[in-house]
């Protein structure tokens, strides 16, 4: 009997599917230096909860922007090698590495070591009740 009514009154869920190569390209600091940012999903409500990006770097620029934003950022390296600054420290990121850090501390690429570089990043924004 339960299998008969399993699909009855199931909520829609508002899922998003972004097919390969169809992520919206966005302009952020660094875009003019051979870096591309593809937004892989977007919040559909009034409050932005998170932003996932696929970031590609194929230019050996000597100047990199630094970023500061609320929330927590997660990086997962797919390809290449880079030195990444967070505050006063730098970290070597290679394929398969993951890196999580507070976004309100200045951060960004310090040195591109092996091109091309591709990584996934997700910024998780605090909700009004969070004190991270």
Retrieve residue 61's tokens. Answer: 């620029």
Given a contact cutoff of 8 angstroms between Cβ atoms, the answer to whether 40 and 23 are in contact is yes
- If we measure between CA atoms, which residue out of 127, 129, 126, 119 comes closest to residue 37? 119
Identify the CATH number of the domain in which residue 92 sits. 2.60.120.10
Retrieve residue 131's tokens. Answer: 């004190």
Domain assignment of residue 68, yes or no: yes
Retrieve residue 59's tokens. Answer: 């230019």
Work out the mean pLDDT of the chain and round it to a whole number.
Answer: 82
Query: 118 CB contacts (<8 Å, ≥6 apart)?
Result: 54, 55, 56, 57, 78, 79, 80
Domain assignment of residue 5, yes or no: no
Rounded to whole angstroms, how far apart are CA atoms 49 and 40? 14
Residue 28 structural domain = 24-124
Average pLDDT over residues 105-111: 95
Q: What is the pLDDT of residues 17-70, one digit of tens each?
A: 778 777 667 755 544 556 788 888 877 667 788 899 999 988 766 667 889 999
Q: Residue 94: is its pLDDT beyond 90?
A: yes
* The model's pTM: 0.77
Q: Say how many domains are in the chain.
A: 1
- If we measure between CA atoms, which residue out of 68, 71, 56 comes closest to residue 112? 56
Given a contact cutoff of 8 angstroms between Cβ atoms, the answer to whether 70 and 35 are in contact is no
């Amino acid at each position: 009997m339960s299998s008969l009514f399993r699909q009855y009154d199931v909520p829609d869920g508002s899922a998003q599917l972004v097919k390969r190569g169809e992520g919206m390209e966005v302009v952020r600091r660094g875009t003019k230096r051979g870096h591309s940012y593809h937004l892989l999903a977007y919040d559909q409500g009034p409050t932005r909860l998170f932003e996932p990006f696929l970031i590609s770097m194929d230019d050996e620029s000597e100047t990199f922007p630094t970023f500061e934003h609320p929330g927590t950022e997660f990086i997962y390296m797919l390809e290449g090698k880079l030195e990444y600054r967070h505050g006063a420290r730098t970290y070597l990121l290679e394929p398969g590495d993951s890196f999580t850090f507070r976004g309100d501390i200045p951060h960004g690429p310090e040195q591109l070591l092996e091109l091309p570089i591709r990584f996934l990043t997700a910024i998780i924004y605090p909700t009004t009740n969070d004190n991270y």
